[in-house]
Amino acid sequence: MLQKVVIIGAGPAGLLLAHYLLRRGKYRVELYEQRSDPRLVDVSRDRTFPITLQERGRKALRQISGLEEAIAAAGVFCNGSKVHRQKGKAREIPRTVPLLTIDRNRLVMILLQHLTQTYNSEQLSLQFGCQCTGVDRKAKTVTLQPEQDEAFTLAYDRLVAADGARSPVRDYLAEEAGLQCEQTYVPDAYKSVFLPRLAPTLELELEPDKIHGWNQGAQTRMVMVPQPGDRLNGVIAFDAQHNPLSNLTTKEEVLTFFQENFPVIGQLMSPEEAEAFWQRPVGQALTVQCDRFHEGDSILLIGDAAHAVSPSLGQGCNASLEDVLILERLLEQYEDDWALVLPAFSEQRVPDAHALRELSNYSFPRQKRLFVEYLLRSQLSRFLHRWFPQWVKPFVFDLVVDYDLPYSQVLSLHRGWINKVKRSSPHPS
């Protein structure tokens, strides 16, 4: 008899987990997602952002036939970064291993399409516009509220929370099951920006294979990531306590702000995008740290529900996809005995999640002096690693991004640097 697995959240982690479980042939999967079905509506760009997929995330996708290839075809490979300056030549930072960049909504759509094309309604059910409002772990039931209909309660054999940093399932475990959970807002806030990559009439073009960055003082910066169709998706990030956009009240003021502070962006931005930008909400990422990722033999937290982190290292989605691969390996090892699998998952994954939080918070310094030191350390380690790979490991960012070494090992190798940045931080945690 098939076990019934209810997955709350149809983002990248929840959808990939459904792929893995259904492939095992021992489960029926029911997916419930608060957002609307992306196949039926125009997904608002307010709620999307570019994702950089690296080896640890791509390795998890690679296990499902055809999935990595389909995602790569819908994304862009970037072989480095370019840091633009208001005065002087831009600094290029090459990458030996290209990063696969893709819009989050496009990634979700591909995972969803592959899932529904592979499995029928007897194996898989999907319901969008449906919010989790309650869990009873003793009765093994979950209550859900659709947008239009009355709330309903259903039973599960296993319940997986893949429902993001503001997970209702995790909140229930914190209130009713003694889960220790710390939630903290990242000091930075952000707004999404969507631009063309080139402006032919101005003879302006940004490289299609570079992630582009700009800094305006210590507190405001922009990152723009190439997307298919000569587009750029990205964000302007700033200290949440000092929002430089708060006094902008018209699209003309938005255009003037970018023309004065980020001239290239100001040239690429149309009046229509300036209007849309002005109306977009300001976002602020929430980080999550839990003492365990399971309850008993039937409830599991994965992805941002378990360990949301600062986006500075681009590891949120990669770590979430890696969760799914690790769970699959444990299911194989323990022959689908969830009473053994879930504690083993927490034992293996919690130290890495805690390490990733520190790495994300403190790999990149804010102080100019330390940032120069960071660049020098990175360049020196790349040079020495090329000649003496058995003795010299890459520096923090390269080691996280180009390899799938456990985060706890990366932190151990670079603990001295992380502590140095932490001591200089105005927001230690």
Q: How many CA atoms lie within 13 A of 111 on its CB side?
A: 25
Q: How far apart are CA 268 and CA 205, in angstroms?
A: 9
CA distance 70 to 38: 18
**What's the average model confidence in pLDDT over 340-346?**
98
Residue 46: is its pLDDT beyond 60?
A: no
| CA 225-230-235 angle, 5° bins | 30
CA 108 to mean position of chain CA atoms: 12
Q: Quick check: 428 pLDDT over 60?
A: no
pTM of the full predicted structure? 0.93
Closest CA to 292 of 348, 356, 331: 348
pLDDT value, residue 371: 78
Q: pLDDT by residue (tens digit) across 123-176?
A: 999 999 999 999 999 999 999 999 888 999 999 999 999 999 999 999 999 999
Regarding predicted confidence, which is higher, 359 or 47?
359
- Mean pLDDT over residues 400-420, rounded? 91
For residues 228-252, give the mean pLDDT.
91
Q: Does residue 379 or residue 257 have the better pLDDT?
A: 257
Average pLDDT over residues 353-376: 85
Q: Which is nearest to 47 in space by CA: 289, 235, 305?
A: 235
Question: What number is the average pLDDT over the span 229-250?
Answer: 91
Listed by start position, the domains of the chain span: 3-79+102-184+286-359, 187-279, 364-424
CATH of 187-279, one of 3.40.47.10, 3.30.9.40, 3.40.640.10, 3.30.497.10: 3.30.9.40
Write down the CATH number for the domain with range 3-79+102-184+286-359. Answer: 3.50.50.60
